Amino acid sequence: MPTTALRAGQGTALHECLISIGSNIEPELNFTQALSLLRTECDLVAHSQAIRTPPVGFLDQPDFLNAALLIRTALTYEAFRLYLKTVENRLGRVHGPNKSGPRTMDLDIVAWNGELLDQGYLEYDYVRLPVDEVLTVSGRSLMTKKG
């Protein structure tokens, strides 16, 4: 995807996206490559430190490195979600039969324009702790959906 589609021109409305990032296949290498791609192709506002966490669900696999990123984009929610899937694929992500299995890279949208979308934030430390760090360093907060 060309970088011009991800970076906003003057006067373009920007969206802020909080992303949970995780890897347990060559995680240090894949984190470095993911951050490099996202820094080059997007407006990376803030990121947390990576934390090592045990797997959830399927336990017979290596620990994960998890972090969170805050990115600004001119893309719509759906277009940005698809972009993140292309980044996962570029980093060798293979979707096997086990949804909780090992992965080179997992990029999940946690919040869009400050609105919490991923309930994993409320349930899992590996999502909440890095996201809270990004919220603190960026001066942002989250709101939950009403209804």
Question: Catalytic site residue 60?
Answer: no
Longest dimension (CA), the chain: 49
* Pairing, β 15-23 against β 106-112: antiparallel
Tokens of 6: 């991800």
Catalytic pick among 7, 63, 108, 128: 108
Question: Catalytic site residue 103?
Answer: yes
CA atoms within 13 A of residue 50's CA, in its CB half-sphere: 17
Q: Is the backbone of residue 99 left (phi > 0), alpha (psi -120 to 50) or beta?
A: alpha
Catalytic pick among 43, 72, 81, 93: 93
Catalytic pick among 103, 118, 125, 132: 103
Question: Catalytic site residue 106?
Answer: yes
Residues acting as catalytic residues: 93, 103, 106, 108
